[in-house]
């Protein structure tokens, strides 16, 4: 669901005759440009506070916490944070709450959780961890680092490796475009990961070290721009031109997916989107998953 933006950019690059392109991928991860670098410490403090509160009181107060959190963030962000309050042990690191697509409290509406057993590795001895065990291993590594360094490690080890790099490689090559990532050059990554937190960030200036490095090269109107996301108008498309296709897909869950996905939960996500209670990314992810299963799984 996440690579289609890069697909369109790669298509446009090839249309004008480019064969190689440079990507800034890795900049946010190394130079603390994502909101996760601010959100994760806040959620960690919320988790810590919740552990001193009895579970029954957390459940009673969850709606109030959600209401208070909505005043400073989106509805989806407030749900993630209220889940961190309600079930602080659901995930092994506060960072994972910031990257969730569906909060744990909502997953039961979509599916019945199933956990596979660990498997034996190729050496016949080592146990390969389950997905949750893998998250715990990565979280343990992050906990051994300073706060900013740990979040940077989690960003690179999870979202960047599992999603961004894979998506960029596959969809750019689908357009016969080679994408290179200079900010992930080994010496630069090694230099940045060796820095203490106090040297990594500059208060009030996102990606301060990166900006300082190119200060004499780029004009001020570029250096002083606010951070912008790259998002195609999915909100508008899903509400208008794509709506009939998405609704038809949701009314016919792919046979391979139907035993695992609750149709009523899918409808709830779609209705929440239409009512402005959740972002476009949630129904879009379910639509892409459903259509992929329909095309590739018998």
Q: Work out the number of other CB atoms within 10 angstroms of the CB of residue 205.
A: 13
Return d(Cα 157, Cα 77) in angstroms, integer. Answer: 22
pTM of the model: 0.88
Structure confidence at residue 224 (pLDDT): 85
Give the closest residue to 147 by CA, choosing from 47, 72, 39: 39
Mean pLDDT for 242-257 is 96
Structure confidence at residue 71 (pLDDT): 72
Structure confidence at residue 150 (pLDDT): 96
pLDDT 10s digits, 153-200: 999 999 999 999 999 999 999 999 999 999 999 999 999 999 999 998
pLDDT 10s digits, 2-41: 788 899 999 999 999 999 999 999 999 999 999 999 999 9
pLDDT 10s digits, 118-154: 777 778 777 777 888 888 999 999 999 999 999 999 9
Alpha carbon distances (Å) from 49 to 68, 86, 123, 223: 16, 11, 43, 38
b/e string for 70-107 if b means 16 or more Cβ within 10 A?
eeeeeebbbbbbbbbbbbbebbbbbbbbbbbebbbebb
| Residue 277 parent element (H or E) | none
Structure confidence at residue 115 (pLDDT): 67
């Amino acid at each position: 669901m996440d690579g289609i933006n890069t697909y369109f950019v790669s298509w446009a690059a090839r249309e004008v005759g480019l064969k190689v392109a440079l990507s800034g991928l890795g900049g946010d991860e190394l130079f603390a440009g994502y909101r996760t670098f601010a959100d994760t410490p806040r959620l960690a403090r919320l988790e810590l506070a919740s552990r001193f509160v009895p579970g029954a009181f957390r459940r009673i107060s969850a709606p109030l916490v959600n209401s208070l959190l909505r005043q400073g963030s989106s509805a989806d962000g407030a749900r993630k944070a209220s889940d961190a309050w309600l079930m602080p042990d659901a995930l092994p690191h506060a960072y994972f709450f910031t990257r969730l697509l569906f909060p744990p409290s909502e997953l039961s509406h979509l599916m019945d959780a199933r956990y596979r057993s660990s498997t034996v590795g190729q050496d016949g001895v080592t146990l390969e961890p389950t997905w949750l065990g893998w998250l715990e291993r990565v979280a343990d590594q992050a906990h051994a680092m300073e706060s900013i360094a740990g979040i940077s490690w989690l960003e690179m080890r999870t979202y960047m490796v599992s999603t961004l790099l894979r998506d960029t490689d596959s969809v750019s090559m689908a357009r016969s475009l080679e994408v290179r990532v200079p900010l992930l050059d080994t010496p630069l990554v090694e230099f940045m990961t060796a820095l203490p937190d106090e040297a990594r960030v500059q208060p009030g200036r996102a990606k301060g070290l990166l900006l300082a490095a190119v200060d004499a090269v780029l004009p001020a109107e570029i250096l002083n721009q606010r951070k912008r996301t790259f998002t195609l108008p999915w909100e508008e498309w899903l509400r208008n031109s794509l709506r009939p296709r998405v609704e038809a897909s949701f009314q016919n869950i792919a046979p391979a997916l139907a035993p695992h996905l609750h149709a009523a939960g899918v409808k709830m996500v779609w209705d929440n989107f239409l009512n402005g209670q959740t972002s476009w990314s949630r129904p879009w992810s379910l639509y892409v998953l459903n259509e992929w299963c329909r095309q590739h799984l018998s």
